[in-house]
Amino acid sequence: LEEGRFTVCSVGAGYVGSLTSIILAAQQPNLRVIVCDVNQNLINSWNDQRYPFYEPDLDKQFDIAVNKNKNIKFTTKITEAIQESDAIFICVNTPPKKESREGLGRESDMTYFDMACQTIASMGDPKKHRILIEKSTVPVGTHKRIHNILSQNLANPDDCYTIVSMPEFLAEGVAIQNLLFPDRVVIGTPTDKNGMEAFEVIKGLYTNFDTNFIHVRTASSELGKLFANAMLAQRISSINSMSQLCETVGASVQDLSKIVGSDKRVGPLFLNASPAFGGSCFEKDIQSLVYILESLGQTQQAMYWSQVLYMNQFQKTRLLNMIVQEFQNPTDTILTIFGFAFKKNTSDTRMSPMAFFVYGLIEKGFHVRIHDPQANERGFQIEMEMQGFSIAEKLNFEFCGSDYSKAVKDSNAIIIGTDWDEYITTNYRNMRDQMNNDKALFFDLRSIIDQQAINFLGFEKVFKLGN
């Protein structure tokens, strides 16, 4: 890359847009990178060097891009950013449609995506051919949808844009590592000359990355991303489906993960039992896959993937009922939930499985306290509402942030919901002393603690998921 000759812009400054852009700018000093968003607060936050979310190692890469390479800018001037760019990444949100929130088979809401495409279409210029890259997770066939939008605005859309699919596989909490060392970079292009050229150009952006490229048809790339998330989620539902059986027959779910994961054909990662998978992608993407299958009449296949979601919901219901049954007088009982982020090392609470538990326990009349090292009260409140759990009228809960003492004082139980490392190493002896003198229980829904060690501390019962 020659200095300052090639500019990429990301439309959308959320997780995907900002993080991919920051890493590209940090790794390729000669590249110019623009990150734009309609959300002025978000752009202000990036410009003030205030991170809008917690992500390990982000500060270092941000510093390289912003202060050393000085090749990235954040702006709300979207049309100007597109004008200056040679390649445009679309990284806007594609949430499930609100109207059909209940039940399975939810279609993706493409409103934001379409709006971004319209803006891009209005900037089409046959004298400056650009690469248009879909990065947001989208239904298969979205490249045709983009083409239609371009065609409504441009006489010869193919002279202005080559449409490419390049899904992002980053996982929150390890996003920077995922971006610096991607398992693969998937590039889906048309099979014509434009497509081949676009592939070569994009490969050029990754010269400083040690990775391998998978160059496929656009439809394969789009569907590949949905399937990748569906497969990962399916592994979790599979291991979760074994947790109760392990508890019943005296097996350990960790042992099962070890036994199965050491088979090369299966692989060791992503086999941790949990109270359910959460996060903004898995459920939404499976819903989208199920919707696509159903709308094409492939009912049996749709039912197969629906089961992954049923299992996920079942696990939550089973564990909530188990906890509730342990206590006779909910209104006299304080329960402490450890963790509201949807997984460790992130402040993100989107689709956190713990929302279901918090609500279920509040509804039953328990006094519920929520602890999390990074998630904040606003994120907690928003997520409860988003998942349809209205707590505005409720008084029997407290969000304690990272304050352990506040969270455990006189409590009757600790319920580990998020796999934060500090929930393994924290001083539970100290905590037990602060908890209810008579009766205190321990529920580890992430299967991370040393059950025997906790047993010694005077808990009446220590439950470890899948053990």
Q: 3-class DSSP state for residue 382?
A: helix
Structure tokens at 185: 């970079």
- State the residue number with the nearest CB to ligand ADP: 14
**Site track 68-107 with ligand UDX (rule: CB under 6 A), x = hit:** ----------------------------------------
221 binds ligand UDX (CB under 6 A): no
The DSSP symbol for 4 reads: T
Query: Could you write out the DSSP letters of every residue in 180-248?
Result: HS-S-EEEEE-SSHHHHHHHHHHHHHTTTS---EEEEEHHHHHHHHHHHHHHHHHHHHHHHTTHHHHHH
73 binds, among ligand UDX, ligand ADP, none (CB under 5 to 8 A by kind): none
Residue pointed to by tokens 């000669």: 30
Based on the residue annotation, tell me whether 281 is a catalytic residue of this protein. Answer: yes
Integer Cα distance of 18 and 386 in angstroms: 23
For residue 355, count other CB atoms closer than 10 A to its CB. 25
Scanning residues 194 to 233, which ones bind ligand ADP (CB under 6 A)? Answer: none
236-275 residues near ligand UDX, rule: CB under 6 A: 236, 270-272, 274
Q: By CB under 6 A, is residue 91 in contact with ligand ADP?
A: yes
Residue with Cβ nearer ligand ADP (36 or 384):
36
Classified as helix, coil or strand, 336 is strand
CB of 222 to ligand UDX, least distance (A): 14
> Judged by CB under 6 A, does residue 174 bind ligand ADP?
no
For the bound state, the minimum distance from the C-beta of residue 409 to ligand UDX, rounded and expressed in Å, comes to 28
- The Cα–Cα gap between 26 and 29 comes to 6
CB-nearer residue toward ligand ADP: 92 or 341: 92
Site size toward ligand UDX, by CB under 6 A: 19
Q: Interface mask (CB under 6 A) for ligand ADP, residues 389-408, using x and -?
A: --------------------
- The residue among 293 and 351 lying less far from ligand UDX, judged by its C-beta, is 351
The pattern of x and - marking residues 109 through 148 that bind ligand UDX according to CB under 6 A reads ----------------------------------------
DSSP per position, 61-103: HHHIIIIII--EEEES-HHHHHHH-SEEEE----PBPSTT-SS
> Does 14 help bind ligand ADP (rule: CB under 6 A)?
yes
Tally Cβ neighbours within 10 Å of residue 430.
12
- State which residue, 58 or 303, has the beta carbon closest to ligand ADP: 58
> Please, what is the minimum distance in Å from the beta carbon of residue 170 to ligand UDX?
5
Per-residue contact flags (x/-) with ligand ADP for residues 131 to 170, judged by CB under 6 A: -----x----------------------------------
Within 244-303, which residues bind ligand ADP (CB under 6 A)? 280
**What is d(CA 294, CA 352) in angstroms, rounded to the nearest whole number?**
27
Tell the residue number behind the tokens 């409720």, with chain if given: 394
Task: Give the residue carrying structure tokens 């490419």.
Answer: 164
Tokens standing for residue 257: 């993960």
Residue 320: which of 401, 403, 422, 389 has the closest Cα?
389
Say how far residue 235 (Cα) sits from the centre of its chain: 16
Among 22, 35, 110, 116, binds ligand ADP (CB under 6 A): 116
Polymer length in residues for the chain: 467
Cα(365)–Cα(359) distance, rounded to whole angstroms?
Answer: 10
**Quick one: which of 139, 195, 224, 279 contacts ligand UDX (CB under 6 A)?**
279
Q: Does 169 bind ligand UDX (CB under 6 A)?
A: yes
Which residue do the tokens 């904040």 mark? 376
Q: Distance between CA atoms of 353 and 350, rounded to whole angstroms?
A: 9
Q: Smallest distance, Å, CB 255 to ligand ADP?
A: 35
**Tokens at 220, concatenated:** 């394969």
Determine how β-strand 32-36 pairs with β-strand 7-11. parallel
Which of 381-387's residues contact partners 24+ apart within 8 Å by CB, and which partners?
Answer: 382/349, 383/340, 383/349, 383/350, 383/351, 383/352, 383/355, 384/355, 384/358, 384/359, 386/350, 387/351, 387/355, 387/356, 387/359
Residue 42 binding result from ligand UDX, ligand ADP, none, given CB thresholds of 5 to 8 Å by partner type: ligand ADP
Residue whose CB is less far from ligand ADP, 11 or 253: 11
Near ligand ADP in 23-82, by CB under 6 A: 36-39, 42, 78
Q: Which of 36, 91, 160, 281 is catalytic?
A: 281
Q: Which does 91 bind (CB under 5 to 8 A by kind): ligand ADP, ligand UDX, none?
A: ligand ADP
Q: Which residues bind ligand UDX (CB under 6 A)?
A: 168-172, 229, 232, 236, 270-272, 274, 277-279, 281-282, 342-343
Active site residues: 281
Which parts of this chain interact with ligand ADP (CB under 6 A)? Answer: 11-17, 36-39, 42, 78, 91-93, 112, 115-116, 136, 280
